[in-house]
């Protein structure tokens, strides 16, 4: 373990590769401006070299909705939710998926992409993946506004459960951050993980009820299906916005999986943090 001591006029600051929980929380509060700066940098870098800038946040879900509606709605004729337009159902799933998948992909390789910062500047290293998660909130909010606009255009009434939307977002952040930490830590140890991540995300897309309604899954398999936390998150968002019926017990199963993944991610990250510099 390396310990660096820096003397100041008023106090002595000790920076160690192994921080206690109280020190971590203290660092988070004391250096919160640095977290916002990293978050803004990630937002700026993502779109600064694109001709259309942040408009890509709208173009991507628009193209995906068009393609999936044509293939799965018109050709495959998959059922929607209570007869509502298929495009609204798909976009409601994409609101969750785009945020979670995009932040996981960015977080997974964040320690390698930001190795110059991690190895040369002291900061709570959780800031690196967390800044990517927070940057993804911009895409989430823009896509959510797009969904609300499509609902108004298609004359789809808003649910009376809009108050639950903040809770859904809270657990989306937990899931994205937890999986991102797991993959980021594993990527430091095994570089093959960064090549497997896109495949796992693509597999996760079809395992979640995005282009189909979760009600088509036989009920006897729901206990297994909702072990996928994305299933509960997508259903919860559709319940809060569209009024889709909600299987509360099974959604709580997905919520528990979100928390479990987050805890595992933090524990694995804490285990590998002392040797992180040697792995970069």
What residue ranges do the domains of the chain occupy? 19-279
Residue 57 pLDDT > 80, yes or no? no
List 12's β-bridge partners, or say none.
7
In the chain, the percentage of residues whose pLDDT exceeds 70 is 85
pLDDT of residue 274: 77
Q: Nearest Cα to 82, choosing from 231, 226, 244?
A: 244
Sign of the torsion angle spanned by Cα atoms 38, 261, 255, 24: negative
Lowest-confidence segment of 92-96, 211-215, 231-235, 270-274 by average pLDDT? 270-274
Q: Which residue has the higher pLDDT, 79 or 260?
A: 260
Residue 5 pLDDT > 60, yes or no? no
- With 0-12 / 13-18 / 19 or more C-beta atoms within 10 angstroms meaning exposed / middle / buried, residue 64 is middle
Q: What is the largest CA-CA distance in the chain?
A: 72
Residue 9 pLDDT > 50, yes or no? no
Give Cβ neighbours of residue 69 (< 8 Å, ≥ 6 apart): 86, 87, 90
The secondary element (H helix, E strand) that includes residue 221 is none
List 16's β-bridge partners, or say none.
3
> How many CA within 13 A on the CB side of residue 151?
18
Residue 1 pLDDT > 90, yes or no? no
Q: CA torsion angle for 255, 261, 263, 268 (degrees, to 10)?
A: 180
């Amino acid at each position: 373990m390396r310990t660096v001591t820096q003397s100041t006029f008023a106090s002595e600051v000790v920076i160690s590769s192994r921080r206690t929980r109280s020190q971590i929380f203290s660092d988070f509060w004391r250096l919160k401006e640095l977290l916002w700066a990293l978050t803004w940098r990630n937002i700026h870098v993502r779109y600064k070299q694109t001709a259309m800038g942040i408009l890509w946040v709208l173009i991507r879900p628009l193209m995906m909705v068009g393609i999936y509606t044509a293939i799965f709605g018109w050709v495959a004729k998959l059922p929607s939710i209570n007869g509502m337009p298929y495009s609204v159902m798909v976009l409601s799933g994409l609101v969750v998926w785009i945020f979670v998948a995009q932040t996981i992909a960015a977080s997974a390789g964040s320690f390698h992409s930001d190795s110059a910062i991690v190895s040369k500047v002291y900061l709570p290293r959780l800031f690196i993946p967390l800044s990517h998660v927070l940057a993804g909130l911009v895409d989430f909010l823009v896509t959510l506004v797009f969904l609300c606009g499509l609902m108004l255009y298609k004359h789809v009434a808003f649910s009376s459960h809009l108050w639950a939307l903040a809770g859904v977002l809270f657990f989306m952040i937990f899931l994205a951050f937890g999986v991102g930490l797991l993959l980021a830590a594993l990527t430091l140890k095994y570089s093959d993980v960064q090549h497997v991540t896109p495949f796992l995300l693509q597999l996760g897309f079809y395992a979640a009820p995005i282009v189909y309604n979760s009600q088509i899954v036989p009920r006897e398999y729901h206990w297994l299906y909702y072990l996928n936390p994305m299933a509960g998150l997508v259903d919860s968002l559709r319940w809060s916005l569209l009024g889709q019926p909600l299987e509360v017990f099974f959604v709580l199963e997905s919520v528990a999986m979100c928390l479990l993944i987050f805890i595992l991610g933090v524990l694995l990250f804490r285990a590998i943090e002392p040797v992180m510099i040697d792995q970069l």
